[in-house]
Each structure stands twice: as C-alpha cells, then as structure tokens.
Amino acid sequence: MKVLICDPISRRGIDVLRQARGVEVEERLGLKGEELLAAVADAEALVVRSETKVTRPVIEAAKKLRVVGRAGVGVDNVDVEAATERGVIVMNTPGGNTISTAEHTFSMMMALARNIPQAHSTLHAGKWDRKSYSGVELYNKTLGIIGTGRIGGEVARRAVAFGMRVLAYDPYLTLARAKALQVEMVELKELFAQSDFITIHTPMTEQTRGLINKAAFDLMKPGVRIINCARGGLVAEMDLVEAIKSGKVAGAALDVFETEPLPPTSPLLQLPNVITTPHLGASTIEAQESVGIEIAHAVIEALTGGSIRNAVNMPSLDAKTLSLLRPYISFAEKLGCLLAQTGPRRCERLIVHYAGRVAELDTNPITRSALVGFLRSAEGREVNFVSAPIIANTIGVRTEETRSSAPSDYAELITLESRAGDERASVSGTFYGSVNNPRIVRLNDTPVEAVPSGVLFIMRNKDRPGIVGWIGTIMGKHGVNIASMSLGRDKQGGKALTILNLDSEPPVELIQAALAEKDILDVKVATL
C-alpha cells in the first residue's frame, strides 16, 4: 500500500507510516500540475497539509486512492465531493492543533488591544513613540465568539481567565456546555451589537462564507476589533477595509485570508491598525508533531480496515465502537445484498428498521452497510461506505431509518424493506445466542431460519407433502450438495418458502427443472 506524502509533516508521523506493515511511503513535496497527477497514479493514500490542492482531476488520476489524510483542521484544499463520489475517505486532525490555534488567537487579540506589532516596528525604526500606541484592556471587555467547538471553547476559557465577559453564538451549543465554559448564549445580531472584540471559529461553508460582512459591521458598536484565525473568507475583506477606514472598526488581527499567500497589493497591508500573520495558527512544534502522528495512525487504520477517525465524509468509528458494531455492519451488508437479489429490480425507498437492543446502538454505520450491500447487488458496481449515499441519491433511492424498543419475538431485529410504488420486499435478521451466529428469520413476511452465507437457493412453492424430497433429488441429480435447509410457510396447505444453503452454484438446468414443476411458484438464487 503506497502512501504519498505531498506536504511536510513531522518526522515522527512519517516514522509511524514507515513502520506499518505493508506500507510503502514516498515523500514528494511541492508537486503541482502534471507532476502531481503522475505521482498520485498508484497511491492508495495521500497525506497533505494546506499547500497541496487535492482537486477532482487529482482524485480521478489516483485510480487506487482510498484515503486522503489532511494534517490539520480544515479540508478546504480537498474536493470532498469528488472524493466521496469515488468512495475515497477524507479525514483530518481536528484536535491536534486546538491549543496552538487558541493561543495564537488570544495572542492576536492581545497584540491588537495593545498595538504591540506597530510599537515594535516604530521602536526598531529608531523612534520612541508612546502616545500613538495607547491601547485598551481586555479586563471587563465583552468578547463575542462565533463557533464554540474545540478552538472556540479554549479561547473562551482564556478570555474568562482574563476577566472578560464572553458571548457565544453557535447553533449547536448546549446549555450545559455554555454553563461549563462560563459563556452567555446569544443570537448573532446580539453578539454583533454588544461585543468589543469578535473572534470567529467556524468551518468554511456556503452558509459561513462572508459571515462577517458590511451588514454585520453595520450592527456592531463603534470601535469593535475583529480577529480571524479560522478560515480565510469568513470575513469579507473588502467590507472590513471599508469598515476600518470609516472608523467603525478600530482594528483587525488576521491569520487567514481569502487568497493565500496574501498578495503584496492587498489593501489590508496598507492599514496600520491591521495585524497580519501568514497562517501560523497551527505552526507550533507541538501542534505539528501532534497532527503528523495523528494523521499517520488514522491513515494506517483506514487502509488496514481498522477504525475510521475524524472522517469528514462518513461516520467516524473509534476502535471500541467498531468492535461493537462490526458484526452488525457485516450482517446488514448481507441482508442488503439478499434483498437486492430477491426483491423487485426497481427501488425508490430503502427502509431499515431496528428493533430491540440494536436500536440503542449508533445505527448510521449499520444502515450504510445495508445500503452498500443492496447497491452492490442491485447496481453491479463497486460501492463502499463513502460513496453509497451519493450513488443512492444519483439513482433515486431514498434511505430511511426507523427504530422501535417495543417487545417482539426477538431480543433484536434488523429489517430491510425495499419499496417502489405498490411493490414491496423485505428481509429480517437477528442473532441467535451471540453476534457470531446471525440468522435470516423472515423473508417477505414468511418466517424462516437460514444462515446468511454462501449460495442460497430460495424457492416458493405450494405447501404439500413430497416437495422437499423432490427438490433434494433434483439437487443430487445435478451434483449440488445441500449444506443446510430452512423451511417456512404462511399456513398449512398454503404457500411455503424453502431456503437451501448450497456448496456450489446450481446450474441453469436445475433451476429450469424446478420451475417446470407445477407446484413450484418461483425460484431465485442469491450469493452472499
């Protein structure tokens, strides 16, 4: 398995990759254009920071690519949509540089409050100018934090320690976490109106792009100061320039920019009350060591089928959760595969119903696995955890989940149902005794008890004596051995269901012979 390192990461991170069994590591830094496209051709994993742009053409050129590991928080330089379509896992390291970025944010805020860079430059120029650089205290000032995740939360803790009043806007902030951080939860307009300092710590999305713009500045109090150490583009730069020139904004401290590197002609560089640093938020020895090691372990785990950590385009599973869910994930894929081979070809809705103990678990990965199995059999193409939802959406299959804790015949039950108009097909499964003993217990509402493995011969027939013996004779005549058998029926003398686990695929002649028998209604063969 080849891992291509495209940007500098810590030596300890590289050592982790080199020491992994079966992993070949190649370092090629600063690649661009055709050179990059050629280098990724045989790579199964790419490790990048912010310099290398993993675009759609790069992903398409990397035919073997399975993982993109970003040693850092954001994935702005990775085309996540293109990766997802190809079934490539994109993962980052959101925790590795939390403290470094929080400390840089706070350092920028203090430098902004006391005009430290400007005073430093003046003194080095041979001037002793104390009057021009009088600053403000942080104590008793109001800090507005937009986004209180890992970094925003750490900034809040430091601000409280400095005696600041902290306002927080975050749609996902709970009352309990706000209380723990000692912050006041407010709406965004209120935060703009009351804050003396505003710092932003949100991801870059279509909803957050240009979040701090002219309309936002109009709501702010005169003399407000702006800090952005998160993502360039969260603050509309030209609107900020105008707000500073008008005196509405007293100053800004920016570590990130809409275009990086920041062009020398940028108006921001012409304003004396704007402090700039070249994207240094995560640039500490400790942070780079941490993210390098973290992404190395994450990439190895993903390549070797272990836990998935910090994936941005699929559910993340730590080792403990994966160990717990693995039997359910495997079983759900087989149920999906069986449903696709036994139900109608057309499917508009795939409904996964969980009952009993399994309903208490994190079922998202289980549902994805069921969808993977269903699509692989129905579509006949390669599908994985990452690409399954995209493919389902493309072909018009809507996936739904339902749960029930109500008592039933089984301690836990997974039911997959395919619907298209009035057509409906379903399959249910559970575990007997332990998660190592899965069983198919219902097919289209007929109770059975079949092992979900290998080749399944599924026959619907009229319930009459002699059918089982007859089909056994036909199997023997064609040299097909029966490994196990399960029988079910709706009522005595009604319709019966026979599922045989076979040691080999039945020949076409056997199936034709079975269908020629007048009491056999239907025959299907499924491979799990």
Beta strands at 349-356 and 412-420: parallel, antiparallel or unpaired: antiparallel
Crossing angle, helix 364-379 and helix 388-395, to 10 degrees? 60
| b/e 227-244 (16+ beta carbons within 10 angstroms → b) | bbbbbbbbbbbebbbebb
Give the active site residues: 231, 260, 279
C-alpha distances in angstroms, 483 versus 457, 471, 480, 503?
Answer: 11, 14, 10, 6
Complete edge-to-edge strand list for the sheet that includes strand 45-48:
24-27, 2-5, 45-48, 67-70, 89-91
Do the beta carbons of residue 309 and residue 358 sit within 8 Å?
A: no
Q: How far apart, in whole angstroms, are the C-alpha atoms of residue 249 and residue 318?
A: 45
Element (H, E) at 526: strand 520-527
Phi, psi of 386 (to 5 degrees): -75, -50
Element (H, E) at 523: strand 520-527
The dihedral of CA 71, 76, 81, 83: what is its sign? negative
Q: Which long-range contacts (CB under 8 A, 24 or more apart) does 82-85 make?
A: 82/55, 82/56, 83/54, 83/59, 83/313, 83/386, 84/313, 84/386, 84/387, 84/390, 85/387, 85/390
Q: How far apart, in whole angstroms, are the C-alpha atoms of residue 353 and residue 359?
A: 8
